[in-house]
Amino acid sequence: MEQTTQPAQTDPLRILVDADACPVKDEVYRVAERFNLAVVVVANSPLRVPPSPDIERVVVGDGPDAADDWIAERAGPDAVVITADIPLAARCVANGAAVIAPNGRPFTRDSIGMAVAMRDLMTDLRSAGEATSGPPPFTPRDRSAFLSELDRTLRRLQRTRA
């Protein structure tokens, strides 16, 4: 009797958005619709989302890391996470998720260590009284870079999952 092996089932690809301060939510919705993907928008307070069966809004508690914890617990190889939060990005990368900042910067296993180190350095400088500038203003170029990286990431993930 000949046995055949079935390919392993994978969970559907989805996008998890750290939404409280995310400037690219509308872009995520449009790209997700084009790729026919589900989007989960996670925030500490209610946010308006487009009426769509493919967009889920999750409002978590008021704890300082409640949204981060919710996202990190669900981020894995089946997820693309959108966040500017470097500690959250590190947790999601460690879980196997693809992670993109709203400015289009991908966080990868190769780059996350330097991002965490720079964040920690800037935190230490600020706590020592050093005047540091905040992040640069969000620009149309950032929005364009984000759209390009999200498209590139989704195409790559779809190819590797096929």
Domain ranges of the chain: 14-128+139-161
* Per CATH, domain 14-128+139-161 is 3.30.310: no
Alpha helices in 53-111 (DSSP H): 66-74, 86-94
CB neighbour class for 93 (10 Å; exposed up to 12, middle 13-18, buried from 19):
buried
Residue 106 CA to residue 112 CA, distance in Å, equals 9
Could you read off the pLDDT tens digit of each residue along the chain, which spans 162 residues?
A: 445 444 445 689 999 999 988 999 999 999 999 999 999 999 999 999 999 999 999 999 888 889 999 999 999 999 999 999 999 999 999 999 999 999 999 998 777 766 656 655 556 656 777 666 667 789 999 999 999 999 999 999 999 987
Tell me the three state secondary structure of residue 120: helix
Please give the backbone phi and psi of residue 16, each rounded to the nearest 5 degrees, phi first. Answer: -110, 125
The residue length of the chain stands at 162
The verdict on pTM exceeding 0.85 is: no
What pLDDT, on a 0 to 100 scale, did the predictor assign at position 118?
66
